[in-house]
Amino acid sequence: MSALAAAQPADSPRVRVEAAFALRYGAPPAFVVRAPGRVNLIGEHTDYNDGFVMPLAIDRALWIALRPLAGGQVRAHSLDYNEDMQLDLRNPVHGGPQWSEYIGGTAWALAEAGHALLGWEGVLAGDVPMGAGLSSSAALELATARAFAAIGGWQWNAAGMARACQHAENAWVGVNCGIMDQMISAAAVADHALLIDCRSLAVQPVPLPVQTCVVVLDTSTRRGLVDSAYNERRAQCERAARVLGVPALRDVSSAQLAAAAQAMEPLALRRARHVVGEDERTLAAVQHMQQGNASALGALLNASHASLRDDFEVSSDALNAIVECAQQQPECHGARMTGAGFGGCAVALVQSAAAAGFARAVSAAFHNATGLTAQIYICRPSAGASIVST
């Protein structure tokens, strides 16, 4: 076990998978891989509109300890579910535990993309909260891709891996997600957010303003993404783009949208107004971050939440409550819901020195307002999917 692993808490997922692997197989793993979850600072519901997003990888991840396995098979044990899965790489099929669909889908998509897959066996565990909008599914997909890359000795191509994992979630799992979750997990840069152009997949690391940190506010309410209104919102955006005569809403400015407003149905106009405005807010955020202007960046987060709540209608009572609790704290520059919506998490930009007190104050205020108990994480932006030496 490495010094890094030894320095981690005994219940950290890395320590758990390495110990469980040694117990299960009687030897240390050949590789340990990880892929992080993410929180989106700004740029929500813009990725599937070919727009701009500004996520950062959080210091919570999915870890796999593994070794090669002959015979074209994948065998994995999940410590979080205490379940096993087995996959025939020559004939991947649906079935098995739900979490195994992300492994099977990633294997299928990588093969579709032309990669030669070698078998492996391993143990996996993570500490990305599931269903909170922090992309636990993308973390599992990218960790799986990293596992195949480690076993096969591939050169890591972040954009290519992200596209394959997105294809797995779209075509195999059945979630019509955009590219953001997979791209940030694949390509994140430590201590930075990452501006992603979701059309070209060009990326630009952008530092947070000094003396600020990102705090994730988990409402402890959950949404089922596959069964939610997410796919409906995407279809509404695609219809709005067709009405406007453009390939995607990314190709429309606020001025162009205002000029076309009279010809649009009110619902389509509201959906488009959010996406177009959110792209503009995301690009403005880059400038404020480069200038170190935390107050201006926070104002953009507040405006983003209002747009998601009123025009895109993907917030919830719990999300609105926790955002309001955060915005009322003097150490908070701004806050908004993050992720697909309908439950899950909000994100706040907070003065670093006051983050712990902020977390306590928001937790108490949110409980008083709703009766719910929030889970709050002070996050350090981490690097993307990686192979960790053992």
**Domain extent listing, the chain:** 3-204+382-388, 208-379
> What does DSSP assign to residue 76?
E
Report pLDDT for 226. 40
Bridge-based pairing state of the strands 345-351 and 212-218: antiparallel
Token pair belonging to 182? 């997979």
User: Using CA atoms, how far apart are residues 359 and 194, in angstroms rounded to an integer?
Assistant: 25
Residue closest to 141 by CA, chosen among 174, 121, 169, 112: 169
Q: Report which residue type is found at 36.
A: P
| pTM higher than 0.95 | no
* C-alpha of 384 from chain center: 11
User: Which CATH superfamily hosts domain 208-379?
Assistant: GHMP kinase, C-terminal domain (3.30.70.890)
Helix, strand and coil in the chain, % to nearest 5: 45, 25, 35
Fold identical between 3-204+382-388 and 208-379? no
pLDDT at 1: 32
As given in the structure block, the two tokens for residue 337 are 């819901």
What is the three-class DSSP state of 259? Answer: helix
Kind and range of the H or E element at 212? strand 212-218
Report residue 169 CA to chain centroid gap: 13
Query: For each of the chain's 390 residues, which pLDDT tens digit applies?
Result: 333 333 456 689 999 999 999 999 999 999 999 999 999 999 999 999 999 999 999 999 999 999 999 999 999 999 999 999 999 999 999 998 999 999 999 999 999 999 999 999 999 999 988 776 788 999 999 999 999 999 999 999 999 999 999 999 999 999 888 888 999 999 999 999 999 999 998 999 999 999 999 999 999 987 655 456 888 999 999 999 999 999 999 999 999 999 999 999 999 999 999 999 999 999 999 999 999 999 999 999 999 999 999 999 999 999 999 999 999 999 999 999 998 888 889 999 999 999 999 999 999 999 999 999 999 999 989 999 999 975
- Domain 3-204+382-388 adopts which CATH fold? Ribosomal Protein S5; domain 2 (3.30.230)
Q: Out of 181, 218, 279, 311, which one is annotated catalytic?
A: 181
**For residue 56, which of 338, 350, 334, 314 has the smallest C-alpha distance?**
338
pLDDT at 339: 86
What is the per-residue pLDDT for 10? Answer: 63
Is 47 an annotated catalytic residue? no
Residue 198's nearest CA partner among 185, 187, 186, 183 is 183
Say how far apart CA 26 and CA 231 lie, in whole Å: 45
Contact 320, 343 (CB under 8 A): no
